[in-house]
Amino acid sequence: MLEKPLTSHIRADGVPLTLREYELQGGYQSVRKALLNMTPQAVQAEVKTSNLRGRGGAGFSTGLKWSFVPLDAPKPKYLIANADEMEPGTFKDRLLLESAPHQLIEGMIVSAYALQADTGFVFLRWAYHTAAKAINTAIAEAYQAGYLGQNILGTGFNLEMHLHTGAGRYMCGEETALLNSLEGKRATPRAKPPFPQVSGLFGRPTIVNNVETLCCIPHIITHGAEWFQKLSLTADAGTKIYGVSGKVRKPGLWELPMGTTLRELIEEHAGGMQDGLSFRGALPGGASTDFLVRDHLDVRMDYPSVAAAGSRLGTGTVIVLDDKTSVVGFVRNLIHFFAQESCGFCTPCREGLPWIEKILQAMQSGDGRKDDIPMLELHTRLLGPGNTFCALAPGAMEPLQSALKYFREDFEAYIREHASLEPITV
């Protein structure tokens, strides 16, 4: 049995397999098994039993999410792969999109069958040009082989699939903003309820899943839910594509059992810190997660363990902070990104994020004031959960609030010593 199912078909040179090459390595077996031997309800049950949790950041049960779609609702129904990977420090889906596009297409076919959806979209980040070429080629090959289109495998199941390249906004990663963008509207989040599973794209039942999530589906159906659960070191099932960036010796991506420790990721797979540098902390799941520090190195990288440590697993892509990089500059750089990417719909996000950036910039310039730190702490509450229309601003507050918790002396030093640490450049 495969120990690294998501990356086992990826060649060393990164060139994607053709459909025929993919089939020779077991590709599209899950399509035949699901469509020819399983009901949609049985596919959903297998995914729910597998305990697959969404790999896009929220970690919600995939099978449970699917169950909210009414199977008997009239068509059209939509399945969307969220490939708008714009979270700073996150680059895991790019590997799958560029080097294993047929795995995504296969996962979408099986998922669409389970939902009885008849139209699929891959909503792709605008800058992923290599991925766009690979996905377009894979979709064309799947149509030619009869895996897409009308009456797939003679079962009467129909599925049309399209690639849609986004206009380039981080906000499109939020599923309802993605739906608005796909409809040709401004990418602002929608009020919920109604939820997309009932009223999504063009008012029809819609499921939006992350790329890595969908790529797990073929392996669950081919090998079974129990096999998928046993891949993990903890109760959270399966493998995970973890990433590490920052001043480590070997930044990159690795498919490892869910529950691999932060220490193993950084010290073994990423090769430890670069010469002359020490580990101070890390954002465990992309830019919108709270810092973990040295005391957390043995935390298992799964959803409940990281949450118990005071952060979120998020995308599982770690951004490392070293002892020579200004934590104030580090956070300001992230706040600058989030301020640029705010859709401007709600006042706390639109006005608060630029104001926070202004305070942090003043600190770095030697113009900080004694009340700046209390003001920053106030903003972490005012822009926190429940005070904004979507999760962008609360996510932006996570690195700031945890930096103030663990590295408060750095902020105080900027005020006391006028930027005694070298600031990070944008």
Residues 104 and 217 in one domain: yes
Does a structural domain hold residue 8? Answer: no
* 101 lies in the same domain as 23: yes
| Domain end (from 202, 230, 258) | 230
The last residue of a domain, from among 322, 354, 377: 322
- Report pLDDT for 422: 47
Query: 168 pLDDT exceeds 90?
Result: no
Judge whether 79 lies within some domain: yes
User: Residue 420 — very low, low, confident or very high, per pLDDT cuts 50/70/90?
Assistant: very low
Does any domain span residue 80? yes
Establish if 422 belongs to a structural domain.
Answer: no
C-beta neighbour count of 192 within 10 angstroms: 11
Same domain, 128 and 261: no
pLDDT at 167: 84
Overall number of domains in the chain: 3
Residue 384 inside a domain? The answer is yes
Domain with 332 in it: 327-417
Indicate whether 418 pLDDT > 90: no
Query: Does 281 or 424 have the greater pLDDT score?
Result: 281
Q: Is residue 47 part of a domain?
A: yes
Query: What would the pLDDT profile of 367-382 be if each residue is shown by its tens digit?
Result: 889 899 999 999 999 9
Per-residue confidence at 1, pLDDT binned at 50, 70, 90? low
142 shares its domain with 271? no
C-beta separation of 304 from 236 below 8 A? yes
Q: Based on the fold, state whether residues 409 and 331 are members of the same structural domain.
A: yes
User: Is residue 321 over pLDDT 80?
Assistant: yes
User: Who has greater pLDDT, 217 or 169?
Assistant: 217
Residue 2 counted as domain residue: no
CATH of the domain at 293: 3.10.20.600
Q: Quick check: 424 pLDDT over 50?
A: no
pLDDT for 2 equals 74
Which residue, 169, 200, 230, sits at the end of a domain? 230
- Average model confidence (pLDDT) across the chain: 94
Determine what percent of the chain is predicted with pLDDT higher than 90. 88
- What CATH number is given to the structural domain containing 348? 1.20.1440.230
Domain identity same for 355 and 279: no
Residue 118, domain CATH: 3.40.50.11540
* Average pLDDT for 67-80: 93
**Residue 142 within any structural domain of the chain:** yes
